[in-house]
Amino acid sequence: MSLHSSLKVKNKHVRKRNVLRREERVRKLEQDERWTDGNSVYGLPKVRVEVRAPRKHAKEAAAEPEEGEGAPAPGQENGQ
């Protein structure tokens, strides 16, 4: 039996790319003010890909209490 099309995961194979296309590199160089009109599009300098911090899941964020919410301050014991 096959899986219904509405239950399939879209963008299943989409991953974080670590290499930019030429047009993306030129755009990034323009933002960093390292590009001027008339430059050659061949032999472009390296451009660092922005790294995003991994997101916390809702369960992990709820499990970690904040400082003012019931967690004793460091160096203090419970009840004192």
Each residue's pLDDT tens digit, 6-50: 888 888 777 778 889 999 999 999 999 999 989 999 999 999 888
Residues with Cβ within 8 Å of 45's Cβ and at least 6 positions away in sequence, in order, are 29, 34
What residues does each domain of the chain span? 17-49
CB 64 within 8 A of CB 37: no
pLDDT of residue 1: 78
pTM of the model: 0.49
Buried b (16+ CB within 10 A) or exposed e, 31-52: eeeebeeeeeeeebeebeeeee
